[in-house]
Copies of this chain bind each other. A is one copy, B any other.
Amino acid sequence: MSVTEPIGFNASGVAAGLKSSGAKDVALVVNIGPKAHSAAVFTTNRFAAAPVIWSRQILSGGDGRVVVLNSGGANACTGPEGFLDTHLTAEFVASELSKVGEGEFGAGEVFVCSTGLIGERLNMRVLEGGVKSAITELSPKGGIMAAEAIMTTDTKYKVSAVNDHGYTIGGMAKGAGMLAPGMATMLSVITTDADVDPDFLQQALSAATSQTFDRLDSDGCMSTNDTVILLANSASGVAPDPEQFQADLIKVCEELAQLLMADAEGATKEIHIEVVGARDESDAVMVGRAVSRSNLFKCAMFGEDPNWGRILSAVGTTTAFFEADQVDVSINGVKICAAGGVGEDRSQVDLTQRHIDVLIDLHAGTHRALIRTNDLSIGYVVENSEYST
């Protein structure tokens, strides 16, 4: 599992001291070749953090083969000084890696990801100490350590891998709050030893994230730091069928997204909102997302109350194509709302399990989409109202 499952990747995760808890907080992922292609997707938040601005430049340069990640500080809204910190981090990683015989590296090959509190500068001395240790620890078995080092309020590390067609795709992710699109608040690094055309790599990653991470909407809050990076090295020598590679990549992203939803802050329910009968996919996404963002709906799920009026009132705020007197809603298989009105008896709905399926049929076409969300629980409020320092 994780980013070292494919051939030709080393990783590590160490405790540098950025986190006051003493937990791991600096991770490295290094592509040792033979090739070095990369793709990435970033937050669309206009207050993009310094590492996001930096990593976009690395992506456009096309040579990215290293990812350095830290938890314990987002380096967001930190101004030009924060950007300089990111730049110096990449320079430091490249220069230290070059010293230890892993080859010659330049800062332009180093993606940077940060996560933690917004609006605080990173302690660069501590971070650089962590980078040195992380380089020492680099290993083809370091994937889990790296996954641990990027956790914030996550209670579990998140990794995934697919290895069914002669090549491997492995990945790690973090994220438990600010989980909403574009992408959910998350960092993810995915690696593969498949021999994939670099243009297709970006296309495949964008398609995979739009169907998976982008449709996770836990709390409606978009982060400043969301980043998904895909590194490819062709080490397996296998040039996959593009459709197969796309499907495998989606599988890895899907599993990571599912793990993120399962570990969302304070969540007691994992809710799949499936919208069918939509005129087009964007209508289906719009409707699913409106429901996933209704605090009243999410409180009802926490309270195990099949209050379908809260679903309809959210659907009714959208501009999706439908007629109000044709919409059906089922919760866990019971069609409690039929044709926009009262359906089966709500007492038939059993919401005691952690998993909840909501099915909304707009009766306006043949398209569908699945949005994943969580309930709004007392635990979420408690966790997010504690003082940030």
Tell me the complex Cα distance, A16–B274, Å: 41
Chain B: minimal CB distance from A252 (Å): 27
A384–B302 Cα gap in the complex (Å)? 9
Question: How many copies of the polypeptide does the oligomer hold?
Answer: 2
27 sample A-B contacts, Cβ–Cβ < 8 Å, listed by A number: A45-B313, A46-B316, A46-B318, A47-B312, A47-B315, A74-B309, A77-B340, A79-B342, A81-B341, A117-B309, A118-B307, A178-B296, A219-B295, A219-B296, A220-B295, A221-B294, A221-B296, A221-B313, A224-B313, A224-B316, A295-B376, A295-B384, A299-B380, A299-B385, A302-B385, A303-B386, A377-B381
- Residue from B315, B316, B384 in contact with A299 in the complex, judged by beta carbons closer than 8 Å: B384
CA distance A293 to B293 in the complex (A): 9
Which residues does A use to contact B, with CB under 8 Å? 44-48, 74, 76-79, 81-82, 117-121, 177-178, 219-224, 293-296, 299-300, 302-305, 307-310, 312-318, 322, 324-325, 337, 339-342, 376-378, 380-382, 384-388
A47 partner, pick from B117, B296, B340, beta carbons under 8 A: B340
How distant is A287 from chain B, measured CB to nearest CB, in Å?
11
Hey, which chain B residues are within 8 Å of A223, CB to CB? 313
A48 CA / B119 CA spacing, docked (Å): 43
Are B378 and A381 interface neighbours, CB within 8 A? yes
CB distance from A285 to the nearest CB of B (A): 16
CB-nearest residue of chain B to A347: B389
Nearest first, the 4 A-B pairs at minimum CB distance are A118-B309, A303-B385, A79-B341, A299-B384
Q: Which residue in chain B gives the minimum CB-CB distance to A218? A: B295
Residue from B219, B341, B385 within 8 A of A82 (CB atoms): B341
B305 touches A385 (CB 8 A): yes
Interface residues of A, dominant DSSP: loop
**Is the Cβ of B221 less than 8 Å from the Cβ of A305?**
no
Interchain CB contact (< 8 A) of A309 among B77, B304, B314, B337: B77
Residue of B nearest to A340 (CB): B77
CB <8 Å contact, A317 and B222 = yes
Docked pose: A81 CA to B121 CA in angstroms: 62
Instruction: Specify which chain B residues have a CB less than 8 angstroms from the CB of A314 in the assembled complex.
Output: 221
Q: Are B385 and A381 in contact (CB under 8 A)?
A: no
In the bound complex, what is the Cα–Cα distance between A197 and B145 (angstroms)? 74
Residue of B at shortest CB range from A386? B303
Query: Given contacts A296-B219, A385-B300, is CB(A341)–CB(B224) below 8 Å?
Result: no
Query: If A296-B178, A305-B388 touch, does A342 touch B45 (CB 8 Å cutoff)?
Result: no
Partner of A120, one of B45, B342, B377: B342
Kindly identify which residue among B308, B310, B388 contacts A307, using a CB–CB cutoff of 8 Å: B388
A221: chain B residues at CB < 8 Å are 294-296, 310, 313-314
Contacts of A121 in B (CB 8 A): 342
Using CB atoms, name the residue of chain B closest to A376: B381
Chain B CB within 10 Å, residue with most, of A340, A382, A384, A388: A384
CA–CA, A82 and B378, complex, Å: 35
Which residues of chain B have C-beta atoms less than 8 A from A316's C-beta?
45-48, 222, 224
Which chain B residues border A305 with CB–CB below 8 Å?
Answer: 385-388
